[in-house]
Structure 1
Amino acid sequence: MKQYNFAPVSGPLLLVIGISILGVSDSLLLIVWESASVGQFHFIRSIFILCGILLVSRVWGLSLIPRQWTLMVVRTFFMVSAILLYFTAMPLMPIAEAGAGLFTSPIFVLLFSAICLKEPIRPPQFLMVGVGMLGVVLILLPNLGQLTIFHLFPVGAGAMYAIASMLTFRHLSGESPLAILMCFMVGIGIIGGIMTTMFSLFPVPPELVSEARFLFSPWTHVSKDYFLWVGIIAALSLLALVCITRAYQTTKTSQVAIYEYAYLASVGISSYLIWDVLPSLLGVVGILLIIVTGLLINLNRSSADIKQ
């Protein structure tokens, strides 16, 4: 089957394009978040995206069948957990701040590598971890009085994302990127459907619903406009994920990973233009500290790869 070629578009450029589109797509989530739960949103969005994945697989001739089912399921579990935690927190705080929590993942990669794989952490890396954690504290500080467990979800998402990334790099590098994406979309669609069904059959107390309606709402009748916007978000997400997948196919991971931080710029700008929402000054400083930490960790990893 004919293979589509993105050349001469470079891997880093593709990644920046994809990440920037994803930032806009995530900002549009606030249009629909009051209409239905995060589980119902992901269930419907997954159906749209899976249709697109099937189309892309036909055009590119890419396999959708995983080779290592067990590891793929484990990776999907952690990735789904990361995205559900992240999306649940998005309506509760400026999206750029939530995104910064997700991008603490390089810090957790360092920590998990030391704890689970016994890889040594050098003193400069300890400093990087400290700076990154300071960034998280600065983001949370302005809302300390109203702080709930849900405000910590983005950091939990960063930890889950780190585990998923480590599994992908160490054990699933030979899998088709589209197969990985398809498993994730199937997983998050199924979990979203199960979550919403559980909250429909076993409603939670009203005070919890009022605190995080986007998480605890049952199945809800939605309008045509809801399906339209979810379809638009799904189309943008699929385009972004295709660009990101191709970027990692054509360029070494360590060389393009630093460009992922374009997401924070994209989501910050689009949130301001669409919703007139900006992070606090301390939040901006915290975001910058997390970006610097992630960049240094990734650049340090790139240098180590070159030496090896």
Structure 2
Amino acid sequence: MVFSVIAFAMMNAVVKYLTSFNVYQIVFFRSIGTLVITVPIVLKQKISFFGNEKKKWLLIRGIAGVISLTCFFQSLNYLAVGTAVSLRYTSPIFAAIFAFLFLKEKIKPIQWLLFFIAFIGVLIIKGFGANMDSIGLIFVMISAIFLGIIFVVIRKIGDKESPLVIINYFMIMAFIFGGILSINNWKQPTSTEWLLLLSLGFFGYIGQLYMTKAFQSDETSMVAPLKYLEVVFMIIIGAFWFDEIYNLWTLLGIFLILLGLIYNIYLKKQKK
């Protein structure tokens, strides 16, 4: 999970560094880097490229993924990377609400309290955080909402489809969406920028791969909280690489978000 977190943190840092590029071009290159890796694996393993019986849900997952990814990358143009990543981690709140509404999954009163604590963290960051931009907040919260939808859709798909098929649907749709909208917004990269743009897909794939391996190798209650190390890494990267400022209010808000969500993971495992 630590390898996964480092990979995702590097991907986010590269996106932040490449803010001179249009977000659609970044989404386009993010998809290319992953498809180069996943498509040959799908073909080699003779997996059904377009899925078996959950095509409707695969399409919904792909659309939600493109919206979430695009809005998150766009938010990095307005927010500090550590703040953006922290706010996007409110997605489990929306996932739990959608699962409650559509999958009839129960939510304990204490879980609602923890979600409220995390939401208070969001309000503190918005009201008192350093350099909080309202447009960036809107983009990152839209990203979190659609990421919550993704969690529920993947649960709906279950083990009926290969994870590689699910990833490919997402990346192919990102490739088409980003490619078409990049045509009129294209900026010619330098040789260094080519490497950085193509590295987005590599870091994204490594992050997904090692996250999957982590959940396969140990209990979720042990592994899942380590995912939130990404916030710590992003704050460090933001402070030292991008000279971003995180005041005490911002750090308090981030702490409340992490407290609410990590303790919620603990409660869910205790229930099982």
TM-score, normalising length from structure 2?
Answer: 0.88
**Cα 1:21–1:256 shift into 2, 3 Å:** same
Q: 3-state SS of the aligned residue for 1:92?
A: coil
Structure 1 counterpart of 2:248: 281
Q: 1:300 aligns with which of 260, 267, 270?
A: 267
Aligned twin of 1:63: 47
Equivalenced residue count is 270
Greater CA drift, 146-155 or 86-95: 146-155
CA distance in 1, matches of 2:42, 2:212: 13
Letter matched to residue 40 of structure 1: Q
Cα deviation, residue 64, structure 1: 5.9
Report the residue type matching 1:152 in the other structure: I
Q: Which amino acid aligns with 2:247?
A: S
Find the partner of 2:29 among 44, 49, 64.
44
**1:119-130 matched pairs, under 5 angstroms:** 119-130=105-116
Separation in structure 1 between the aligned mates of residue 85 and residue 22 of structure 2, nearest angstrom:
20
Corresponding residue SS for 1:151: helix
CA distance in 1, matches of 2:250, 2:118: 13
Decide which moves more: 131-140 or 144-153: 144-153
State the 1:172 CA deviation: 3.0
CA distance in 2, matches of 1:102, 1:225: 29
Q: Which residue of 1 aligns with 2:186?
A: 219
Q: Contact 1:21–1:240 (CA<8 Å) still a contact in 2? A: yes
Instruction: Report the residue type matching 2:262 in the other structure.
Output: L
**1:70-128 deviations in Å (ceiling 9; x for gaps):** 11111111122111111110121111111111100111122223333444443212211
Once the two structures are overlaid, the 10-residue window that deviates more, 159-168 or 113-122, is 113-122
Question: Aligned runs of 1:152-191 on 2, under 5 Å?
Answer: 152-191=138-177
Q: Could you tell me whether the CA contact under 8 Å between 1:43 and 1:189 is conserved in 2?
A: yes
Match of 1:290 among 252, 257, 260: 257
- Partners of 1:145 and 1:225 lie apart in 2 by 30
Instruction: Output the amino acid matched with 1:158.
Output: A
CA contact (8 A) 1:114 1:120 kept: yes
Which deviations, in whole Å up to 9, do the C-alpha atoms of 1:202-253 show, x marking residues without a partner? xxxxxxxxxxxxxxxx222332222121123332222222212333444555
Q: Does 1:96 pair with 2:63?
A: no
Shift of 1:288: 0.9
Distance 1:120 1:30 in 2: 38
Amino acid at match of 1:63: I
Aligned equivalents of 1:250 and 1:144: distance in 2?
39
Structure 1 portions without partners, runs of 5+: 1-14, 201-217
2:205 match:
238
Please give the secondary structure, in 2, of the residue aligned with 1:172.
Answer: helix
Q: Distance in 1 between matches of 2:147 and 2:30?
A: 20
User: In 2 relative to 1, CA 54–146 (structure 1 residues): closer, same or farther, beyond 3 Å?
Assistant: closer
1:43 Cα offset (Å): 0.9
Question: What is the identity, as a one-letter code, of the residue corresponding to 1:181?
Answer: I
> Highest Rg: 1 or 2?
1
What fraction of aligned residue pairs are identical, expressed as a percent?
Answer: 22
Q: CA deviation at 1:263?
A: 1.3
Paired residues of 1:128 and 1:293 also in contact (CA < 8 A): yes
Partner Cα separation in structure 1 for residue 34 and residue 68 of structure 2: 18
Structure 2 unaligned blocks of 5 or more: none
SS of 1:33's partner is coil
1-structure distance, mates of 2:245, 2:135: 22
- Paired residue type of 2:211: I
1:82 aligns with 2:49: no
**Cα distance, 1:146 vs structure 2:** 6.9
Q: Is residue 29–residue 200 contact of structure 2 (8 Å, CA) maintained in 1?
A: no
Distance 1:145 1:180, change over 3 A: closer
Task: For 1:11-50, list aligned pairs within 5 A.
Answer: 15-34=1-20, 36-50=21-35
Q: Secondary structure at the match of 1:130?
A: helix
